[in-house]
């Protein structure tokens, strides 16, 4: 098997040179064959009669046949070399076109010429929810298409021009952009207020914006118990998530000094020997962990020095 590097570095011109050398050698063999048959054998037939002369003449005729056979083999070799040079040239032309295609479509080519889509190789398949906001690819593409100017790379490339694999990788590797996509999507959901009046209703629509879901949102409000299937589960998930979001937003509203003061308060209220961590849903700066500095819990043994070590040799 020939690698991409080997094919790229192949030199078909050298095979053509070898073919020319083989043709030249074939012509020399043909000349020797002709001379041995037409000149030497003819001369021997005229000047050297008898059995010995016939044997000598036959030997030169045999030499002529051998050189003629060698000439035919060399010409066949030359044709093979020329054909190989043509094949290498064609293959290099195809390889150049394939590599250009790979670069244009941001595909990775293995050393033995297999094509890999770099985005699918390094991340999830584009048929599942993507990024930290679990947005469907078709939803992300719709948001980008509707807000083309808002999603453009620094080099002027529009995300809307990405293929599915490129967009998948971009979303997976750029969580801030993933969040921004979700913000634009939620704004579009809010643009149709029917069934989208509360955060919980938007949360359900984020997964499935259908007329039925909007109708049920209007009918049941934020009540999850009467809902069915996945929407009920999603509503209950929101009920569990909402208090943490409220805490995170409250923490985000504090200054760094206020956060540090809060952590010190938690440390003083926490028995010594215990770790403190508020673990907010998203980082907002300032400390988020500490160690308890309050009174130890009742029954916690205090460290005491052990017995003095026995000097060596006193046993």
Cα–Cα dist 215/203, whole Å: 15
**What integer is the mean pLDDT of 135-164?**
89
Element (H, E) at 64: helix 50-104
Q: Say how far apart CA 106 and CA 104 lie, in whole Å.
A: 6
How many percent of the chain have pLDDT more than 70? 81
CA distance 235 to 230: 8
- Across 140-154, 223-237, 247-261, the highest mean pLDDT is recorded for 140-154
- pLDDT > 50? residue 83: yes
Distance CA 71, CA 206 (A): 80
Strands 275-277 and 289-291: antiparallel
- List pLDDT tens digits, range 190-199: 888 898 888 8
pLDDT digits (tens, 9 = 90+) for 208-253: 888 888 888 888 888 877 787 778 888 888 888 888 888 888 888 8
Predicted pLDDT of residue 207: 76
| Per-chain mean pLDDT for the chain | 79
- Range in 67-76, 78-87, 98-107, 159-168 the model is least confident about: 98-107
The pLDDT confidence band at residue 283, using thresholds 50, 70 and 90, is: low
Q: Are 137 and 127 in contact (CB under 8 A)?
A: yes
Express each pLDDT in 101-125 by its tens digit: 777 766 666 666 655 444 444 444 5
Task: Give dist(CA 137, CA 168) in Å, integer.
Answer: 7
The reported pLDDT for the residue numbered 14 is 93
Please state the rounded mean pLDDT for residues 179-204: 89
Sketch the domain layout of the chain as residue ranges.
4-109, 123-252, 256-291
Check if the beta carbon of residue 36 is closer than 8 Å to that of residue 64. yes
Most confident of 11-25, 122-136, 157-171, 230-244: 11-25
Write phi, then psi, for 295 (nearest 5 degrees): -65, 140
Do 82 and 33 meet the contact criterion of CB atoms below 8 Å apart? no
Q: What is the DSSP letter of 282?
A: S
What local confidence, expressed as pLDDT, does residue 81 receive?
92
For the beta carbon of residue 238, count every other beta carbon within 10 angstroms: 19
- How much of the chain exceeds pLDDT 90, in percent? 15
Higher local confidence (pLDDT), 285 or 272: 272
Distance CA 40, CA 56 (A): 10
Instruction: Out of 47-56, 83-92, 236-245, pick the least confident.
Output: 47-56
């Amino acid at each position: 098997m020939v690698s991409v590097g080997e094919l790229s570095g192949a030199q078909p011109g050298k095979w053509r040179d070898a073919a020319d050398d083989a043709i030249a050698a074939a012509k020399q063999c043909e000349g020797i064959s002709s001379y041995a048959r037409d000149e030497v054998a003819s001369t021997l037939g005229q000047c050297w009669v008898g059995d010995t002369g016939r044997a000598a003449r036959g030997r030169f005729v045999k030499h002529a046949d051998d050189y003629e056979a060698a000439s035919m083999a060399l010409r066949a070799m030359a044709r093979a070399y020329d054909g190989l040079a043509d094949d290498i040239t064609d293959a290099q032309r195809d390889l150049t076109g394939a590599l250009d295609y790979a670069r244009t479509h941001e595909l990775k080519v293995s050393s033995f010429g297999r094509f890999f889509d770099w985005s699918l190789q390094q991340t999830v398949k584009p048929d599942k929810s993507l990024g930290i906001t679990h947005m469907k690819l078709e939803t992300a593409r719709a948001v980008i298409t509707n807000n083309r100017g808002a999603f453009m790379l620094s080099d002027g490339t529009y995300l809307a021009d990405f293929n599915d694999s490129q967009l998948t990788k971009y979303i997976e590797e750029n969580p801030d952009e993933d969040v921004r996509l979700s913000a634009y999507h939620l704004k579009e959901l809010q643009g149709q207020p029917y069934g989208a009046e509360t955060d919980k209703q938007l949360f359900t629509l984020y997964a499935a914006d259908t007329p039925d879901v909007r109708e049920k949102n209007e009918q049941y409000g934020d009540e999850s118990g009467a809902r069915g299937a996945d929407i009920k589960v999603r509503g209950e998930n929101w009920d569990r998530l909402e208090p943490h979001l409220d805490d995170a937003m409250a923490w985000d509203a504090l200054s760094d000094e206020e956060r540090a003061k809060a952590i010190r308060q938690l440390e003083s209220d926490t028995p010594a020997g215990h770790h403190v961590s508020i673990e907010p849903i998203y980082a907002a700066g300032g400390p988020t962990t500490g160690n308890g500095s309050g009174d130890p819990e009742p029954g916690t043994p205090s460290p005491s020095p052990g017995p003095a070590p026995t000097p060596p040799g006193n046993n």
